[in-house]
A and B are shown apart, each in its own frame.
Chain A
Amino acid sequence: MYLLEAKQIHKSFGDNHVLKGVDLSVEEGQVVSIIGPSGSGKSTLLRCLTQLETADAGDISICGMTMTEDRNGKAVYSDKAQLRKIMLDVGLVFQNFQLFPHWSVLRNLTDAQVRVLGRSKQEAEAIARDLLTKMKLSEKENAYPCQLSGGQQQRVAIARALAMSPKILFFDEPTSALDPELIGEVLEIIRELAKQDMTMVIVTHEMTFAREISDKVMFLEQGNVLAFDSPEAIFANASHPRIQAFLSLLNK
């Protein structure tokens, strides 16, 4: 069963046609990586799928719920209630964390559980503490985001997203804002989630990581999907000269 199905997504900013008919389907438990040059539309795609941008045309459905349907080349969005339901099944981890600076780590993890999902404070805290243990951050629950390293902040951000029990988790370059020595600890967490069959869509520039973790890799260039294939096919096979060029450029 597909947890995410997107067909022929188009998105323009003014005259700038950023997404030119992107298809993406993700099965339950799959990890899909999206790679491609800067400005190719990776973030825009993710933002359309997480409702931070509205697509101009195309179909998107998540967890069997229709988010938008294409009618005569125009994306027609579902009603507010449905969109909200979809939103609650979706988690997003930002490049620059976007933790709430005025709240402690624990409150960052519990507030939405209580206020949005209506869980009790005790339940929310139990879930939060459990996640913090998994993130090896138990002793930081009373710290404020500004007191944490970038790697720790990103792990808190991942925990904050997981606390809402999403069915699918999106990452937009989760390690790009981190110092090199802190990247490993965040990738380790994502690896762990993959082992637990978390469905994930990850935009990343970490090619070794993408290759190792992904079930499928999408290569996006100038708003077109150049390839959507197994990591072996993308990385080892020379059948995509453009991809090879991109990868060799990265390895320099």
Chain B
Amino acid sequence: MDFFFDLIRMKPETFYSIMEQMLEGTLQALEIFVYTAVLSVPLGVLVAVLRESKLKPVSAVTRFYQLIMRGTPLMLQLMFVMYGPYYMFGIGMNRFFACILAFVINYAAYFGEIFRAGINSIPQGQYEAGKVLGYTRVQTFFHIVLPQVVKRVLPPTGSEFLVLVKDTALANVIAQPQLFDVAKKTAGSTVSVVPLIVAGIIYLLMSAVVEAAFNHGERKLNYYQ
């Protein structure tokens, strides 16, 4: 063990203290990840449905929203949500709330596009078969169309989730504490590369878990087509 601490040129107390902060930061990053994932997926379904609306203004507004969210940096959006209300109206935002809000509206725009493509890939004949068998439109959508959409959108959704794991680091621009923030600060204070390497390993582990989960899901849905 001493050999290890010699190698990294760090006192055990320092190392353990860093690891403790890293753990804290990991949990905070996971918090951003989970809130964003849980909220942006259903919102993404809504975005997809609104985008396909027959009411022209509704689909136009949705499209404009998606353009802004996908066409500007997430970092800028975080800054805007956090400080915009203060600069414009003197309203101070809760940091964590602003962080989640920015992530959710950004990711919902991307998911909206993925889900829209998924819904459009289901042949019209499936809706017609549902209708002729007497299913209502809602039943047809939820029992016949949506399960097939889930299978088709799982791979691109998984990719977005992988990006989200790493994007949690962007919360740094509004000083929302999380893993990257800890890594940066402790690397500076100890003048060591160790915190950066540890943070990298943790991000990698989280990504691996997300990837494995989606692979598992894809395999489970492999029973047809």
Contact = CB atoms under 8 A, between A and B. Distances in A.
B132 A100 contact: no
B144 A100 contact: yes
A102 B144 CA distance: 8
A84 B189 CA distance: 72
A126 interface: no
Contacts of A161: 132-133
A91 B224 contact: no
Interface stretch (B81-89, B122-130, B168-176, B211-219): B122-130
Contacts of B73: none
30 contacts: A51-B131, A51-B132, A52-B131, A52-B132, A84-B134, A87-B132, A91-B132, A92-B132, A94-B125, A96-B125, A98-B123, A98-B128, A99-B129, A100-B144, A101-B148, A101-B224, A102-B151, A112-B133, A115-B135, A115-B139, A115-B143, A116-B135, A116-B139, A117-B134, A144-B224, A146-B224, A160-B133, A161-B132, A161-B133, A164-B134
Given A51-B131, A112-B134, 14 more contacts: A52-B131, A87-B131, A90-B132, A92-B132, A94-B125, A96-B125, A98-B123, A100-B144, A101-B148, A101-B225, A102-B148, A102-B224, A115-B139, A146-B225
Nearest to A89: B134
B147 interface: yes
Interface of B: 123, 125-126, 128-129, 131-135, 139, 143-144, 147-148, 151, 223-225
A165 to B, nearest CB: 11
A80 B108 CA distance: 35
Contacts of A98: 123, 125-126, 128-129
Nearest to B144: A100
Contacts of A90: 132
